[in-house]
A and B are shown apart, each in its own frame.
Chain A
Amino acid sequence: MKRLINLTPSKSTRWLLGLIPFAIILILYLFAADARHIENPSDKLLPSFMQMGTTLNTYVLEPSKRTGEYLFWSDTLSSLKRLLLGISIAAVIGFVFGLLTGAIPTVNAPFAPLITIISLVPPMALLPILFIVFGLDELSKVALIVIGVAPFIARDIQRCTQEIPQEQIIKAQTLGASTWQILVRILIPQLFPRLINAVRLSLGSGWLFLIASEAIAATDGLGYRIFLVRRYMSMDVILPYVAWITLLAFILDWLLNKVSHKLFVWHYQGAK
C-alpha cells in the first residue's frame, strides 16, 4: 500500500469522486423535502422539485402579468449587464493603474499607497455614498462593482508587473526600447493572461456587490428578485435563482479560462 500522499486517483475516478458530494447533498435535500411534505403538503421552506419546476416555468416561459416581461430572462439580462459593465470598467482601470504603478517608479510613488488604502475601504460601506451621489439607478450599482473590484485588480496587476524578471526590462533597453515600447511590447502582452486571472478571481466579489446593491435598490435583477420573494418565503423561486446565479458564475469563469488558454499558450506552457 502506497502512502496516502502518493495515491492519485485516475481521471474517471476523479470525476466520480467529484460527483459524490453533489449526489449526497441532492439526496439529503430530497429526503428532507419529502419528510416535510408528508407533515404539511403546502410546505414552502423546502420546496419539492415539482414545486420549483412549476414556479420556474411561469418565470421562464410566461410573460409577467404586470409588465409583460419574461421575469427570469429580464432579471438575468439586467444583472449580467450590470456585472459585465462593472467588471470591464474595473478591469480597465485596474490594469492601467496596476501596470503603471508596477512599471514606473515615479508613478508608483504617488499612487501605490493610495491604491492600497482605497482597497482597504469596505466597498459596502460606500454604498450609501454612491446612492446619494449617483442616485438609485444603474450607475450606482455599476459604480459599486467598480469600486469594489478595481483596487484588487490594480494591486494584483501591480504585483504581477513587478514579478516580471528585471532581466527582460534590461534586455529590452539594450535592444533600444523606449519606456513606451517596453510597456506595449513587453509588459502589456505578458500581463494579459494575468489580467484574465485577476478578473476570474474578482468575479466572486463582483457578484456579491451586484446582488447587495440590487437587494437594496433596484426594480429588476436576480438579486432584486430573490430579496423580493423572500417576503413570501418563496424558496421555490430563491433556490432555482441561486442555482442559476451559480451556473452563470461558473460559465463566466470557465469561458475566461478557456479564452486565456487559447490565446496565451506560451503563458501556460512556458511557466517554468
Chain B
Amino acid sequence: MSNIATLTRHPTYPMLQAKNLWKKYDDNVVLERLNISVNTGEFITMVGTSGCGKSTFLKMLLGMEEPTSGKLLLDNKPIPNEPDQSRGIVFQQYSVFSHLTVLENVILAREFEGSALFGKLFGNAKRKVVDEATLLLESVGLATAINRYPHELSGGMKQRLAITQALIRKPRILLLDEPFGALDPGIRADMHQLILKLWREHNLTVFMVTHDLSEGFYLGTRLWVFDKLRRDPHSPDAYGASITYDLPITRNKIMPAELQTTQLQEV
C-alpha cells in the first residue's frame, strides 16, 4: 500500500472509517456489514456488478445518502450529511455547467467562496481568481479552450474541465463516478495520466467507481470489489453486498489469480 498519507499527517485514526455499515431501502438490502478504513492519500478504485452498492457507497461518501445503521466516519466524526467543498465530485455526465464558459466554470467555486450575495466576483478580486484558474487550466491542457462553452468541447475536454472545476477549492477527497466510462480508449489513457498527476500534486484521497477492472488496477493503490457474499435465489434483495476483495495494489500490478477467474459482469 502506498502511504503518502502518513508523510503529511500523523492521525491516530484513519481518515475514513466504516464500522458495520448497512444500507437498506425498505426491504431491499444494498450494503451490509461494511468495515473499512482508509488513510489520506490512498487511491481507491471500486468495481463490481451494477446494483452491487458501489454507487450507493459513493453517494454516502458524498453525503447524499445516510447509513441505515452502523457508522461512516470522516476524521473520526460522522461524515457531513450533505455535499460540501471538502469532497469534490466528477460524474460521468452533467458535471459542468452548460451556461458558463470553461473559465467561468472553474472560477465558480472561488466566486461562491468570495461573494455570498451574488456568487460573482468583480474587479480585482475577479482578476485574482481568473489568474489562479488560468494556471490550473494550463496544467490540465485546457489553456486554448478558456472562452469556449462546454457544448464546444469534446468528451475528454469536458471531463478535464469537470476535474479542474472540482479541484480549485482544494478538496481533500475526490470522488469519481465512472468519469471516463464514455470516453474513447486513447483519450481515456490521457485522462489516466492526468488524474494520477493531479492525485499526486494535490495530495488527494480518491474514490473512483469504475466498470473497467484493468482501469481499477492501473489507477488505484487499493482495489475494492463489491459483491454479495450471501444470496437467496428466491429473494434477491434479502442480502446486501459488501466488499469481498480489498486488494492493495503494488506498482508492478499483478492481477491475483483468484480475481482473474471471478466473473464480473459488465467489465
The judgment on whether A and B are partners is yes
Q: Which residues of A contact B162 (CB under 8 A)?
A: 171
Please report the total number of B residues contacting A with Cβ < 8 Å.
Answer: 36
In terms of DSSP, what is the predominant structure of the interface of chain B?
loop
B95 touches A171 (CB 8 A): yes
- Which residues in chain B, 188-241, are within 8 Å of chain A measured between CB atoms? none
Chain B: CB-nearest residue to A165: B94
B109 touches A175 (CB 8 A): yes
Complex alpha-carbon distance, A184 and B100, angstroms: 13
Complex alpha-carbon distance, A68 and B231, angstroms: 90
B151 touches A176 (CB 8 A): no
Q: Which residues of A contact B96 (CB under 8 A)?
A: 171
Q: Which of B48-56, B85-93, B247-255 contacts A (4 or more CB under 8 A)?
A: B85-93
B83 touches A185 (CB 8 A): no
The yes or no answer to B14 lying at the interface (CB within 8 A) is no
Within the complex, what minimum Cβ distance (angstroms) separates B89 from chain A?
5
Q: Which residues of A contact B95 (CB under 8 A)?
A: 167, 171
Complex alpha-carbon distance, A267 and B150, angstroms: 11
Q: Which residues of A contact B109 (CB under 8 A)?
A: 175-176
Q: Mark A255-272, 1 if CB is under 8 A from B, else 0.
A: 000000000111101100
A170 touches B149 (CB 8 A): no
Q: Which residues of B contact A170 (CB under 8 A)?
A: 62, 64, 83, 89
Q: Which residues of B contact A266 (CB under 8 A)?
A: 98-99, 149-151
The yes or no answer to B25 lying at the interface (CB within 8 A) is no
The yes or no answer to A40 lying at the interface (CB within 8 A) is no
Picked from B89, B113, B149, B151, the residue with its CB within 8 Å of the CB of A171 is B89
Complex alpha-carbon distance, A177 and B97, angstroms: 14
The yes or no answer to B243 lying at the interface (CB within 8 A) is no
Q: Mark B40-75, 1 if CB is under 8 A from A, else 0.
A: 000000000000000000000010100000000000
Q: Which residues of B contact A162 (CB under 8 A)?
A: none
Chain B: CB-nearest residue to A265: B149
Q: What residues make up the interface of A, taking CB atoms closer than 8 Å to B?
A: 165, 167-168, 170-178, 180-181, 184-186, 189-190, 264-267, 269-270
- What are 17 sample pairs from A and B whose C-beta atoms fall under 8 A apart? A167-B91, A168-B97, A171-B95, A174-B89, A175-B169, A176-B109, A177-B112, A178-B112, A178-B116, A184-B118, A185-B119, A190-B97, A190-B99, A265-B149, A267-B98, A267-B99, A270-B98
Across chains A and B, which 7 residue pairs bring their CB atoms closest together, nearest first?
A270-B151, A175-B109, A176-B85, A173-B83, A165-B94, A181-B119, A167-B94
Q: What residues make up the interface of B, taking CB atoms closer than 8 Å to A?
A: 62, 64, 82-85, 87-89, 91, 93-99, 108-109, 111-113, 116-120, 149-152, 162, 165-166, 169, 171
